[in-house]
Amino acid sequence: MLRKHKVFLVCVLLVIAFASVSASAQHIKLTLWGGYPEMAPFYKQVIEDYQKENPNVEISFLTHPLREHEQKLSATIPSNTAADIIETTSYTMRKFIEAGFLNPNPDNIDAFLKSGVFDQFYVNDLTIDGKTYGLPLFQGRQVMFWNKAMFREAGLPGAPTTWDEVIEYSQKLAKYDANGNLVRAGISLRKSGGGSGVAEKWWFWLYPAGGTIVEEVAPGKWRNGYNNEAGLEALKLYIDLLHKYKVDSYQVKADAEGFALETHAMFTRESWVVGHMQQYAPDVEYDTAPLPVHNRGGTICNLVNMYVTKTCKHPDVAWDFLQFMFQPKYQKLLLAEVGWFPCLAADYEEIFQAVPQYRAFMDLPKGFELYGIPPLACFDEIQTKLAERLVAAFMDESLVDDINRMKQILADAAKETDDILRENGVYAD
């Protein structure tokens, strides 16, 4: 009888062992969506390496232009048809988190996030009602990109450090044809485009003036932060540069593409432009510098994070893949090959030595402040509505020196901002 029990026990153990091996060897498929097409080589490399170590896991990824990606998330997350792993910003995901479409981080991921390898600023950004969501992959900090050859030609010592220098240098750097048409911009401003981007880029000038898009005046209660002197200064700066001094134009190629083609002398952007310049304009002589100060100095720190969706059938494998991705060697690959600055604390000195343009993103001047996206699900709507008004204002040449009309534009926009806050129950009465 005892022998029969032993034989039975051995058979049971063999069945359990076989089942465990079968489970571990189960073919698992995961999908990943991103909103930054330049990230494709990074994802490809990490996925290939992970699949070599985990041959039973198959991971596919798709990247779309940012606005298209955000629209896709808005349609698929509520309908439970999104990818297993999503790359997006904190403020884009917040409304889905507050609506219950995302689970908090599992304990091991929460512990990893709080282990000291991420700055507390990032941990706070991913914490909602005491629970954490996602892991911070890279960050968008703004610096001034400036063309060294153009500055040298104009007899300028380096990047502007104040608003007065921005105005002065832009005029010295701008070039015109025989008919007075601008052919090289002294500075390239973000003047148009869909979604919230125009308002966000204007914010980078609003903040040094002393303002912000929305300000928290009581715990959990907010109101607009730009219907004031700071907002007026920031709007007037744009109008003056565009229409009074005529150092930027809608007819001149703008942004990173224009900088690579040397159609303008300077502009503000994130670290991915360094990778863009390495790929498309390796011979252009340029550098980076902290954003010019006015009444104060500072730059945004906008996080792009990795999330596992609620409908993922294998969340343990998805999180394991993400922890694999967050190894220092892959974070260095992200910076060196793509140009986005990782959030993970690691030794990037070798990359700084090879590409000194990265230093300005992390070596902040004394007193320089970091600020982030406010924890409001409605913030994207606020910025998008504000952007529509700013786009129209920037095109209006008749606003030059018309302080009253500029004030009215800000007042009308601020009312809309406050109305959105009120509709969402977070307005400070």
> Of 61, 103, 19, 100, which is closest to residue 308 (Cα–Cα)?
103
Does residue 179 lie in a domain region? no
Does residue 234 lie in a domain region? no
With tokens 């990359």, the residue in question is 351
Q: What is the pLDDT along the chain (429 residues), one digit of tens a residue?
A: 444 444 444 443 333 333 333 335 689 999 999 999 999 999 999 999 999 999 999 999 999 998 899 999 999 999 999 999 999 999 889 989 999 999 999 999 999 999 999 999 999 999 999 999 999 999 989 999 999 999 999 999 999 999 999 999 999 999 999 999 999 999 999 999 877 889 999 999 999 999 999 999 999 999 999 999 999 999 999 999 999 999 999 999 999 999 999 999 999 999 889 989 999 999 999 999 999 999 999 999 989 999 999 999 999 999 999 999 999 999 999 999 898 999 999 999 999 999 999 999 888 899 999 899 898 989 989 999 999 999 999 999 999 999 999 999 999 999 999 999 999 999 998
- Amino acid letter at 247? V
Does residue 182 lie in a domain region? no
Does residue 209 lie in a domain region? no
Please report the DSSP string for 136-188 in residue order.
Answer: EEEEEE-EEEEEHHHHHHTT--SS--BHHHHHHHHHHH-EE-TTS-EEEBSS-
Helices 229-239 & 163-173 angle (0-180, nearest 10): 10
> Where residue 110 sits, what CATH number does that domain have?
3.40.190.10
Could you list the residue range(s) of the whole structural domain that residue 135 is in?
Answer: 27-140+302-359
Does residue 168 lie in a domain region? no
Does residue 93 lie in a domain region? yes
Query: What is the chain's Cα-based Rg?
Result: 25
Does residue 320 lie in a domain region? yes
- How is residue 392 written in tokens? 């129209």
Terminal Cα distance for the chain, rounded: 81
- Amino acid letter at 309? T
- The C-alpha atoms of residue 238 and residue 400 are separated, in whole angstroms, by 10
- How is residue 267 written in tokens? 């502009």
Question: For residues 123-138, b (16+ Cβ closer than 10 Å) or e, as one string?
Answer: bebbbbeeebbbbbbb
Does residue 348 lie in a domain region? yes
> What is the 3-class SS of 189-245, one letter each residue?
CCCCCCCCHHHHHHHHHHHHHCCCCEEEEECCEEEECCCCHHHHHHHHHHHHHHHHC
Count of domains observed in the chain: 1
Please report the DSSP string for 47-93 in residue order.
Answer: HHHHHHH-TTEEEEEEE--HHHHHHHHHHHTTTT-S-SEEEEEHHHH
- The C-alpha atoms of residue 284 and residue 261 are separated, in whole angstroms, by 9
pTM score, whole prediction: 0.80
- E strand or H helix at 410: helix 403-423
